[in-house]
């Protein structure tokens, strides 16, 4: 099993897309903790 965190650009693309809602929530002053937990669970699965 080869474990590479940034193996290709698709992983970085997913990270960028997941960052956009976090920025929007932060600008609106909303709590991003639930979003962060869900995103962490998703990224572990990917």
Helix axes 33-45, 9-28, angle to 10 degrees: 170
Per-residue pLDDT of the chain (46 residues; tens, 9 = 90+): 566 766 778 888 888 999 999 999 999 999 999 999 999 898 887 6
Q: Is residue 18 part of a domain?
A: yes
Per DSSP (E only), the strands in the chain are none
Question: What's the CA gap between 30 and 45, in Å, rounded?
Answer: 26
Q: Is residue 14 part of a domain?
A: yes
Tokens of 16: 């960028």
Predicted pLDDT at 7: 74
Q: Is residue 16 part of a domain?
A: yes
Q: Per the structure, how many domains does the chain have?
A: 1
Return the SS3 of 9: helix
Q: Is residue 2 part of a domain?
A: no
Q: For residues 42 and 19, is the Cβ–Cβ distance under 8 A?
A: no
Q: Is residue 24 part of a domain?
A: yes
- Write out the residue range of the structural domain in which residue 39 sits: 9-45
Predicted TM-score (pTM) of the model is 0.65
């Amino acid at each position: 099993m080869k474990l590479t965190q940034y193996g290709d650009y698709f992983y970085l693309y997913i990270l960028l897309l997941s960052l956009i809602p976090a920025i929007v929530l932060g600008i609106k002053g909303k709590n991003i903790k639930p979003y962060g937990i869900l995103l962490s669970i998703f990224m572990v699965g990917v």
